[in-house]
Amino acid sequence: MPKSSFQEIILKLQDFWASHGCLITQPYYTQVGAGTMNPATFLRVLGPEPWNVAYVEPSVRPDDGRYGENPNRFQKHTQYQVILKPDPGNPQELYLESLKALGIDPRQHDIRFVEDNWEQPAIAAWGLGWEVWLDGQEITQFTYFQQMGGVTLNPVSVEITYGLERILIALNNAKAIWDEEWGAGVTYGEIIRREEFEHSKYYYEVADVERARQMYDLYSAEADACLAQGLLVPAHDYVLKSSHTFNILDARGAISVAERQAFFRRMRELARRVAEGYEEQRKELEYPLLKESQTSKVKSQVSEGRSTFDLRPATFILEIGVEELPANDVDTAHGLLSARILTLLDELHLEHGDVRVFTTPRRLVVSIDSLSPNQPDREDLVKGPPADKAFDKDGIALPAGMGFAKKNNVDTKSLEIREEGGGKYVFAVVKQKGRPTPEVLAEALPKLVESIKFEKSMRWNDSGVFFSRPIRWYVALLGDMVIPFEYAGVVSGNISRGLRPYDSPEIKIPSADKYFDVIREARIVLDREERKTSIIEQVKQAASLVGGEAIFDFVGASHDSPLLNEVTNLIEMPTAVMGGFSEEFLQLPRDVLISVMKKHQRYFPIQKNGKLLAHFIAIRNGDDIGVDTVREGNEHVLGARFADANFFVREDVKLKLEEYRPKLSTLTFNTKLGSMLDKSERIEKLVNELIPMLKLENDEAVFARRAVHLAKADLVTQMVTEMTSLQGIIGREYALRSGEQKDVAFAIGEQYLTVPQTIIGLTIALADRLDSLVGLFAAGLAPTGAKDPFGLRRAAIGIVQPLVEHDVDFDLAEAVKKSAKTQPIEVKDEVQKQILEFITGRLKVVLGDLGYKYDVIDAVLAAQSNNPAGTVRAVKQLQAWTERNDWSSILDGYARCVRITRGQQTQFKVSEKQLVEEAEKELYEAVKNLPAKVDGEVDSFLRSVVKLLPFIKTFFDQVLVMADDEKIRQNRLALVGQIANLSTGIADLSKLEGF
Amino acid sequence: MPKSSFQEIILKLQDFWASHGCLITQPYYTQVGAGTMNPATFLRVLGPEPWNVAYVEPSVRPDDGRYGENPNRFQKHTQYQVILKPDPGNPQELYLESLKALGIDPRQHDIRFVEDNWEQPAIAAWGLGWEVWLDGQEITQFTYFQQMGGVTLNPVSVEITYGLERILIALNNAKAIWDEEWGAGVTYGEIIRREEFEHSKYYYEVADVERARQMYDLYSAEADACLAQGLLVPAHDYVLKSSHTFNILDARGAISVAERQAFFRRMRELARRVAEGYEEQRKELEYPLLKESQTSKVKSQVSEGRSTFDLRPATFILEIGVEELPANDVDTAHGLLSARILTLLDELHLEHGDVRVFTTPRRLVVSIDSLSPNQPDREDLVKGPPADKAFDKDGIALPAGMGFAKKNNVDTKSLEIREEGGGKYVFAVVKQKGRPTPEVLAEALPKLVESIKFEKSMRWNDSGVFFSRPIRWYVALLGDMVIPFEYAGVVSGNISRGLRPYDSPEIKIPSADKYFDVIREARIVLDREERKTSIIEQVKQAASLVGGEAIFDFVGASHDSPLLNEVTNLIEMPTAVMGGFSEEFLQLPRDVLISVMKKHQRYFPIQKNGKLLAHFIAIRNGDDIGVDTVREGNEHVLGARFADANFFVREDVKLKLEEYRPKLSTLTFNTKLGSMLDKSERIEKLVNELIPMLKLENDEAVFARRAVHLAKADLVTQMVTEMTSLQGIIGREYALRSGEQKDVAFAIGEQYLTVPQTIIGLTIALADRLDSLVGLFAAGLAPTGAKDPFGLRRAAIGIVQPLVEHDVDFDLAEAVKKSAKTQPIEVKDEVQKQILEFITGRLKVVLGDLGYKYDVIDAVLAAQSNNPAGTVRAVKQLQAWTERNDWSSILDGYARCVRITRGQQTQFKVSEKQLVEEAEKELYEAVKNLPAKVDGEVDSFLRSVVKLLPFIKTFFDQVLVMADDEKIRQNRLALVGQIANLSTGIADLSKLEGF
């Protein structure tokens, strides 16, 4: 194929979309981060008027600048933006057509719709859709807008945003954009590359922060002024200018976390006012573009008339055809359908054979064998009014009786009187004729579809239905008969669709029996497990070709892993494609490589003897036609991503890790609590306090002090700025490259793990988490309700869980007090108490998760919680005691002591002289003889109780505690009270069942 | 023809230029006033690299906003920009092809290339070219860039800037843009109109001036920062942002005249640094786009081989084919060619018959009848060394003689000896064989073309030749033989080109004799006078059709007028087209209507009984095919222009004229001299002083005071802001509409005329001009050399000329002193003297223009100049005296008195007692008897001299003035001195010829 030029692509897209009824407009006249910001999108998607538009949008993103060195990442890239409003019903197909117009044959490539929840907080906008991947490369964003400027959209608009540079690279199978032709014999690089360098340098190094702040303020004020006059486009212009200026400040690293929120709040507020103003304006103008009412897009999917209905049991098939569901939603739908379909059949009284559920990203399938053609006839007993209201004494029907009979369509004479709950009532035996299954299903199926709910769902057409992604067809066949129903604007039929790479051809399903054959013929692997197994096999085989083994990261002994599961749900026909990358990238930190391959690209990495190989395995959707193109495409993408990481790492390692530390002052932790550097200094102090508390050895102490000093430094490296999930990991890598001790580096690396493996890592992690909890609680930012913006619940679990798992004794109250002293704001005692209670709350959750009984947990937590390891030991021991056969007598004996002293004013000093009865003297002796030092363990305590048990029994049998003589009574209560108090600080047994 | 849509036009242009080798790029991402500002033009036209590009550019010009009410004027219009670098040799033809691709058939329209000297001071750029008019509407700017960012361009780039909205209006024959389709069934208005309103309101009413100023400063500082780092594109971005912000400030009326200069200086400086930096950068990169050397574009214009050369005298034709010359340049070329060709033939010794010169905008033609085929043979006498150096006494040739003979290719024997200037020299008789005319012409013609110089000229190709506009062909035929030459990269031939509307077809000229027939057949009217006569006839006839008469504004009794002359030079084949406009516009001030028709549109207005009719006559280039389209197009344009004027007037008359006065404070006159309001107040004061000096009647004084109060108020009206040339005229109109007296209004109206007709107008004009002169001289802003940025020469002439024409006596010295007192800065006596001298200088020019002899003028000015009217009277009288037959004796007699006293210390008191001789006594008596009161007139003075003449003669004959006796000598000198001093303050006759 001859090579394409950049301008040809654009001209072809212009022609394509113009011929498909789109307005062609121009890029906007102010810098925007995306075509979405252009008023031709931002404003026009609001309100009810139709709007179909396409335009080029050179999009400027300062922090994507790479000085012209990265093969496909630039501070300015060129978007081609299409808005279809309302949804034409087949936007994916239109889009794929447009790719064909560019020369991209889906058979020769791997085109994938990969879940993407699009969100742009600066303009209060979100939508659901996909990244479209071409051979692993994201070339398009495809979104169903749900909100814009905070306004809920109705109708929904489809946004298609092509990344033109990437498309050109893919089309020409190029390594980079630079040498590809723009047009007229001039290359893209010849036009753009120097500009990329200059702008990158400007945004990263030269832009004056103070001036940019002033510009931001001026723009923002001007936007206000425009809004006050109802000038919405001018106002929007200034919102865009604010936004671009914010991006410059951000690229300069001048925005603290707290500031960022304030900036976004302000931009969002402006965007919201613009959007609301525009909606209002269009309404006042009476929606001039609303020329004709939009007709409903319901389409019949029946290819021919229905057959006659057979009265024998038949196979039933329901296929819900959807646009590509997110991987998790495939599982969610699978679970819900499996549960719901059985209940439904039961409710409908339909007899049936095997029921199976299959799910792929594009279809949710229920198959039912031998479904009865009819409901059985049934008799139902219906309860009516009390007998004496229905009939008089003579058995003559009264109005209430007659009404009830009439309502149930029976004769009053057939009403029966039965007793129920001690009263007499009339009952009607109602005979129900079983209805034909097609009729029943036609009613039930919409509700079945409706019952599938997702965590995140969207609207797309005027049915207003919410679903994970648009539903585009139903196959609903009982035998060869279509069960007619309509839901979400789509009508059922007998037409399915084939594989994406085959252009999703329409496939007629002649009858339900034939469904699986037809689908298999269409090469769709319907069964999730079958796809998964196939992937594992293919991946293993591919890895063995290079003498390595694939990294599946199976969970435990299972054959499941998050990546495998996701990949399985991304395709309907798996074909493994192995590719390689340049060996030089193997110098990058392993976690970076793996993270990029797994997280970003959904590839399986390959290793040999624990070392990564320069290969990966991708799973393509489709067969192996054009597999070389697919491989090369994927290799290009991965290469570009690694080059990007390389760029960061190369820049980063110009400084030692320690040298990044001062820059932490530019990162705000919290306005009241200071910068990340302040935090870093606090946790250094706190680690000094924790070292004795955690009993670290000398070496360990030295390492811990160094590790905590460096712990946060990686946060200001470019690599972590780019991939936040690598925090700690990058710290570890850079620490090693900076010549730090391995123990230090390792501790840095594990600080973000919930349970660090080393005591050094644990020390840092505890200090970090305590500091966050104490500081943020003191700043009044404790979680409320479901909101936990600072992740404090996770922080508390991160304190409790490692202490428990490592069984390390630790005085939380003391630690909180120590941390409080390092805070820049006062942490009142009351607040410290709240913090401890909050941690206890998490501890309770952890204990519950460990399987302990709630009464046991409550009993222990009521008495102790500030040393989680001890608490867990106590719970474990107490639970063991409660499982003893003699437990009830032990508990009972002890309980008597507790109960009688409850609510009494007792002083606990027992006067030996005042002991009168023998039994009390013996008890006193026994108490005195208990082991002097109680170690605070449940076992010790209860062993003591057991020893006292006979004496307690005798005591209560023979001695009247509540003697008339005040002194004697007090003395006896004191004695019993001593026993009751044995549990102090150990457990409150009164919380136990049977107490 | 089906209607076009806006997006179709764009897509067609993209296709057209892409297929003609242009890069297609995108609009720029920041607001620009024109596509020229896009770096794809601004930067890429610099340096030697080729660059061909086309792109859309929505262009934002805040002060073109009309709230969406004007049919074709908008704050944002859409340009289509094409850059061709280097000049492809046929850019006009390519452009016309592109119009055809849009559906514009040149035969059906009137397409005109109208001179336009493009200049953009904010970016230090200029070029020459045209506005392209389609049926009177400017649809394109076509420019050969000469400089950009202050850098001289080499090669020159051709810029073609289409105005897409206007093209759409023309294509669809629409009244306005609003209802035309943008695309996909949506109209332009539906997309844009509300935005136009909002932006107009923003720019005119809402934009915050203080914030805009701050933005400007920030941008400007950021541009500096970028330049300091060599970041040229980022720097350019900020130059553009500065420029847009300046435009906002300007639209808000916030820029004073003085500030404007500072703003422009700053923007220009930045643009210059960007341009220079870019040139440097490309050089360092070694001009990567300079892929292959640009081959010279010399094209042969010979259609077939040359015939044999005939030895008989033949007709010679030279046709210089050019792209449309500016009207004035057609005349310039005509004059130069006419003069030069005769001299040339003479120099070349070529015998010839009639020589004629013809000029049209596209061809400069010289025809020579009966041109001799050869130069005649000639003998030249060449002077050699002195005879005695050439030959010895024996007549033997010496080396000098031999050398001379050899050099002249003669034998020493043939040398002749002749006397010359008293010496003897050898002479050689050199015979020169006449060369063939073709050979001579081939050498001479390039020089002939080169000798045509224009006031403003340009380069266009790598020949580096300067000409008014590009030369594209030569026809050079002697009989049927092509005279071969090359100049400006173009080679001569026998191919001419036809009329523009006929697509400029190539026309073969078989022989010089046939030239005129062929050209006439091609319907080109070669003769300027013939075209002019034809226009007059057609216009008169057309006007008579509506019962009116055309306004030609013939100068004096001639059949010439600037408009007629211009129109004649804009076309090669005149066809009058009459159109009309809405009667409602007749309410606009007559001068506005006429000014728009004549100045902007080059139409002939029509009136009846002194009142304008709602008609106009345009002169089309071409025949009458499609004349209705042409008419409608022109009507549309005129309607739009009138609508624009109407917009201004309607807005303006919401206030009374007086109410505009306070706003004059926002217009700076000069930083040292204050605002226009300050100036207005000063001239009010001055008028009060002038009223007695000019002897105004009571009524006149009242009117003058009122008129001067209002005189400048119109400067801040929108109409004058838009059309500055209407200052005063609009003041008059608005004064009348505000209910002012007619005399007041009329005076306001004539204040800018060089010679106001009324004494009231004169009073205001004098005050205004005196104030400018006095103030600006005092501020150190007197004209220097050729520079006169404040038009002070014109102001001085405007003082002198009306005083002279009205013959009003006026003491300039007194007036300057009075004005000096009103100035806010000191005006030293020395400066006042300079001012008076400066005015005298202008007076001298005025007198010269009146035809007086320079010695007479000098004589009078040496004695008096502060009352111009008196001075002129004196000059007039003196000149009459000098023309008398007896003048020499009068002058002589008087001169004797002057000469003898010159340089002598004389006291003028004559002592009667010391008179000795009779002759001196008689002279003394005669002097005593002269009329007592000398009125200062030349006539009185010279009449006195005449009376004294006989006595003077006798005196000098008989009396020895320089007597030995000191006292007698002094007394005689005193007597003669009294006569000499009669001329004091009248004239210094010693300056006269013959003195």
Query: To which H or E segment does residue B322 belong?
Result: strand B314-322
Phi, psi angles (nearest 5°) of residue B334: -60, -50
Contact B194 A29 (CB under 8 A): no
Contacts of A226 in chain B (CB under 8 A): 202, 206
Contact A15 B11 (CB under 8 A): yes
How far apart (Å, rounded) are the C-alpha atoms in residues A681 and A323? 51
Q: Which of A211, A225, A281 sits opposite B221 (nearest CB)?
A: A211
Percent with pLDDT over 90 in chain B: 74
What average pLDDT score do residues B402-410 get? 87
Burial class (CB in 10 A: 0-12, 13-18, 19+), A981: middle
Among chain B residues, the shortest Cα distance to A44 is held by: B191
Confidence band of B378 (pLDDT split at 50, 70, 90): confident
Q: Is the pLDDT at B303 greater than 60, yes or no?
A: no
Q: Is the pLDDT at B979 greater than 80, yes or no?
A: yes
Q: Which of B32, B190, B215 sits opposite A215 (nearest CB)?
A: B215
How far apart (Å, rounded) are the C-alpha atoms in residues A71 and A640? 6
**CA-based nearest distance A214→chain B, Å:** 8
What average pLDDT score do residues B51-72 get? 92
Sheet holding B604-608, edge to edge: B549-550, B604-608, B611-621, B574-580
How far apart (Å, rounded) are the C-alpha atoms in residues B381 and A748? 108
Percent with pLDDT over 70 in chain A: 97
Contacts of B27 in chain A (CB under 8 A): 26-27, 29
Q: Which of helix, strand or coil describes residue B781? A: coil
Contact A23 B58 (CB under 8 A): no
Q: Note the ipTM here.
A: 0.79
Phi, psi angles (nearest 5°) of residue A549: -130, 145
Contact B231 A201 (CB under 8 A): yes
Nearest to B242 by CA among A395, B227, A377, A594: B227
- Asked if B10 contacts B24 with a C-beta cutoff of 8 angstroms, the reply is no
Contacts of A30 in chain B (CB under 8 A): 29-31
**CA-based nearest distance B289→chain A, Å:** 8
Among chain A residues, the shortest Cα distance to B52 is held by: A184
In this predicted model, which residue has the larger pLDDT, B887 or B787? Answer: B887
Confidence band of A970 (pLDDT split at 50, 70, 90): confident
What average pLDDT score do residues A585-611 get? 93
Q: Is the pLDDT at A932 greater than 80, yes or no?
A: no
Q: Which of A26, A205, A214 sits opposite B27 (nearest CB)?
A: A26
Query: pLDDT by residue (tens digit) across B227-285?
Result: 999 999 999 999 999 999 999 999 988 887 667 888 999 999 999 999 999 999 999 99
Query: pLDDT by residue (tens digit) across A38-73?
Result: 999 999 999 999 999 999 999 999 989 989 988 778
Query: To which H or E segment does residue B776 belong?
Result: helix B759-778
Nearest to A668 by CA among A253, A264, A257: A257
What average pLDDT score do residues A859-883 get? 92
Among chain A residues, the shortest Cα distance to B210 is held by: A218
What is the pLDDT at residue B655?
A: 94
How far apart (Å, rounded) are the C-alpha atoms in residues A267 and B948? 99
E strand intervals along A571-610: 574-580, 604-608
Q: Is the pLDDT at B299 greater than 60, yes or no?
A: no
Nearest to B758 by CA among B798, B700, B807, B797: B700
Confidence band of B301 (pLDDT split at 50, 70, 90): very low
Contact A183 B28 (CB under 8 A): no
What is the pLDDT at residue A173?
A: 85
Query: pLDDT by residue (tens digit) across B594-610?
Result: 999 999 999 999 999 99
pTM: 0.81
Q: Which of A201, A232, A289 sits opposite B190 (nearest CB)?
A: A289
What is the pLDDT at residue B305?
A: 44
Contact B225 A231 (CB under 8 A): no
For residue B929, count other CB atoms closer than 10 A to its CB: 11
Q: Is the pLDDT at B133 greater than 70, yes or no?
A: yes
Contact A226 B27 (CB under 8 A): no
Confidence band of A257 (pLDDT split at 50, 70, 90): low
Contacts of A288 in chain B (CB under 8 A): 190
Phi, psi angles (nearest 5°) of residue B911: -95, 115
What average pLDDT score do residues B911-935 get? 85
Percent with pLDDT over 90 in chain A: 73
- Asked if A219 contacts A632 with a C-beta cutoff of 8 angstroms, the reply is no
Query: pLDDT by residue (tens digit) across A491-540?
Result: 999 999 999 999 999 999 999 999 999 999 999 999 999 999 999 999 99
How far apart (Å, rounded) are the C-alpha atoms in residues A739 and A56? 49
Minimum mean pLDDT range among A273-282, B334-343, B660-669: B660-669
C-alpha atoms less than 13 angstroms from C-alpha of B44 in its C-beta half-sphere? 29
Confidence band of A917 (pLDDT split at 50, 70, 90): confident
What is the pLDDT at residue A301?
A: 47
Query: pLDDT by residue (tens digit) across B453-495?
Result: 999 999 999 999 999 999 999 999 999 999 999 999 999 999 9
Q: Is the pLDDT at B835 greater than 90, yes or no?
A: yes
How far apart (Å, rounded) are the C-alpha atoms in residues B748 and B733? 9
Report the amino acid identity of residue A125: A
Q: Sign of dihedral through CA atoms B901, B902, B904, B910? A: positive
Give chain A's mean pLDDT.
92
Question: Helices B327-347 and B437-450: crossing angle, nearest 10°?
Answer: 140
Q: Which residues contact residue A346 at a Cβ distance below 8 angstroms, ignoring those fewer than 6 apart? A: none
- Asked if A976 contacts A953 with a C-beta cutoff of 8 angstroms, the reply is no
For residue B424, count other CB atoms closer than 10 A to its CB: 12
Query: To which H or E segment does residue B850 belong?
Result: none
What average pLDDT score do residues A93-112 get? 94
What average pLDDT score do residues B41-48 get? 96
Contact A198 B234 (CB under 8 A): yes
Q: Which of helix, strand or coil describes residue A366? A: strand
Instruction: Write the secondary structure of B526-580 as one string of H (helix), E (strand) and C (coil).
Output: CCHHHHHHHHHHHHHHHHHHCCCEECCCCCCCCCCCHHHHHHHCCCCCEEEEEEE
Query: pLDDT by residue (tens digit) across B682-717?
Result: 999 999 999 999 999 999 999 999 999 999 999 999
What average pLDDT score do residues A427-448 get? 91
What average pLDDT score do residues A656-683 get? 91
Q: Is A361 left (phi over 0), alpha (psi -120 to 50) or beta?
A: alpha
**C-alpha pair distances (Å), B632 with each of A389, B225, B640:** 94, 53, 12
How far apart (Å, rounded) are the C-alpha atoms in residues A277 and B322? 57
Phi, psi angles (nearest 5°) of residue A89: 100, -25
Burial class (CB in 10 A: 0-12, 13-18, 19+), A788: middle
How far apart (Å, rounded) are the C-alpha atoms in residues A849 and A867? 18
Contact A211 B218 (CB under 8 A): yes
Question: Helices B938-958 and B918-928: crossing angle, nearest 10°?
Answer: 170
How far apart (Å, rounded) are the C-alpha atoms in residues A985 and B64? 84
**CA-based nearest distance B266→chain A, Å:** 19
Instruction: Write the secondary structure of B264-307 as one string of H (helix), E (strand) and C (coil).
Output: HHHHHHHHHHHHHHHHHHHHHCCCCCCCCCCCCCCCCECCCCCC
Helices and strands, number each (H, E), in chain A? 33, 28
What average pLDDT score do residues A235-263 get? 89
How far apart (Å, rounded) are the C-alpha atoms in residues B792 and A722? 66
Q: Which of B14, B29, B208 sits opposite A58 (nearest CB)?
A: B29
How far apart (Å, rounded) are the C-alpha atoms in residues B164 and B76? 11
Q: Which of A31, A60, A218 sits opposite B215 (nearest CB)?
A: A218
Contact B198 A234 (CB under 8 A): yes
What is the pLDDT at residue B905?
A: 67
Contacts of A234 in chain B (CB under 8 A): 198-199, 202, 206
How far apart (Å, rounded) are the C-alpha atoms in residues B415 and A386? 163
What is the pLDDT at residue A296?
A: 45
How far apart (Å, rounded) are the C-alpha atoms in residues A760 and A770? 15
Q: Which of B23, B199, B205 sits opposite A183 (nearest CB)?
A: B23
For residue B205, the 8-state DSSP code is I
How far apart (Å, rounded) are the C-alpha atoms in residues A845 and A793? 11
What is the pLDDT at residue B557?
A: 79
Contacts of B88 in chain A (CB under 8 A): none
Task: Select, from the ranges A1-10, A777-786, B957-966, the one with the highest average predicted confidence (pLDDT).
Answer: A1-10
How far apart (Å, rounded) are the C-alpha atoms in residues A146 and B497? 63
Q: Which of helix, strand or coil describes residue A388? A: helix
Nearest to A28 by CA among B550, B379, B262, B31: B31
Radius of gyration for the alpha carbons in chain A, expressed in angstroms and rounded:
36
Contacts of A4 in chain B (CB under 8 A): none
**CA-based nearest distance A487→chain B, Å:** 31
- Asked if A243 contacts A95 with a C-beta cutoff of 8 angstroms, the reply is no
What is the pLDDT at residue B298?
A: 47
What average pLDDT score do residues A943-959 get? 91
What is the pLDDT at residue A297?
A: 46
β-partners of residue B137 are B134
Give chain B's mean pLDDT.
92
Interface test with A, best of B178, B208, B214, B231 (most A CBs within 10 A): B231
What average pLDDT score do residues B7-31 get? 97
How far apart (Å, rounded) are the C-alpha atoms in residues B769 and B781? 15
Contact B206 A225 (CB under 8 A): yes
How far apart (Å, rounded) are the C-alpha atoms in residues B621 and B963? 86
Confidence band of A908 (pLDDT split at 50, 70, 90): low
Q: Which of B22, B23, B234 sits opposite A199 (nearest CB)?
A: B234
Report the amino acid identity of residue A282: R
Contacts of B187 in chain A (CB under 8 A): none
Q: Is the pLDDT at A312 greater than 50, yes or no?
A: yes
What average pLDDT score do residues B200-226 get? 96
Written as six digits, the tokens of B235 are 């720097």
Among chain A residues, the shortest Cα distance to B197 is held by: A231
What average pLDDT score do residues A792-800 get? 93
What average pLDDT score do residues B95-102 get? 96
For residue A437, the 8-state DSSP code is H
End-to-end CA distance of chain B: 83
In this predicted model, which residue has the larger pLDDT, B24 or B255? Answer: B24
What is the pLDDT at residue A310?
A: 66
Q: Which of B195, B229, B230 sits opposite A233 (nearest CB)?
A: B195
Q: Is the pLDDT at A445 greater than 70, yes or no?
A: yes
Question: Helices B188-201 and A232-251: crossing angle, nearest 10°?
Answer: 80
Confidence band of A300 (pLDDT split at 50, 70, 90): very low
For residue B423, count other CB atoms closer than 10 A to its CB: 10
